[in-house]
Amino acid sequence: MAFGVDGGTDETARPSVCGAAVAHYATLQEEFPTGFFDLPAELRNAIFEIAASDIELILVEKHQCHPQAGRTLAVPGLLMASKQTRQEARPVLLRLAKVSALVRDFDFQSLRRDIALLPRSDRRAMMANCGPTLRLHITHCDQTALRALYLWIRRQARCRALGRQKMQETPRLTWSYEVEPAVVRDRFENSRLGMMVGGSSVVSSTLNMLVQLRDVLKEHEQSELDLIVLAFERRKARARTT
């Protein structure tokens, strides 16, 4: 039952009232669009910046079908919403979200090569990221791995000294480091205890070798090594409490 214009009731008024309401709503939609992309670009970027605080972008290894496969960015759901969302949000996330990459046995050369294969726009956005993290996964630390670490540290120190902020191979001159738990297969292969013991052993032996590496580094190169040593010490402390 609908109310008439005069305050009474009028069953015949329902179609005209409903039709007028629908027409009015359509007019409002035309005058005041409500879609996400109807918002100003500045507001959309502000929303992407808020979302970036809860997102981690991980540079993952592709299933290599050819030698140039390299790595790609694991895509969060936000970047899969639409093509326009991906185009607008991707540089914001690369600049503000947590960015990390896995490095196995100090193979930094592989990391440099793979980042160089990323689109130039991605590398440019990553240059502005203030805290990219290298997740170090160590299964063993031999002389080859130690040599790779030595070359990485020297290169990092040289880049800082020269102030080369526009290098394309690495997105940022200052990295933070985290040590991933090492999975060691032994007679306790399927037990959590076996993984913990093996991982702690690898961390301890690597720490000993890092101390030896300090003796061959110049004074201005040792700050990068200190960051890596600190990451291993944090991992060792966590292993003791678990």
Spans of all domains in the chain: 1-32, 33-241
Q: Is the dihedral of CA 90, 102, 222, 197 positive or negative?
A: positive
Residue 57: what are its φ and ψ, rounded to 5°?
-95, 125
Give residue 42's pLDDT: 93
- pLDDT tens digits, 205-242: 888 889 888 888 988 889 889 999 999 999 888 877 76
pTM for this model (two decimals): 0.67
CA–CA separation, 240 vs 242, rounded Å?
6
Q: What percent helix, strand, coil does the chain show, rounded to 5?
A: 55, 10, 35
Q: Which of the residues in the chain have pLDDT under 50? A: 1-9, 13, 63-70, 164-172, 183-198
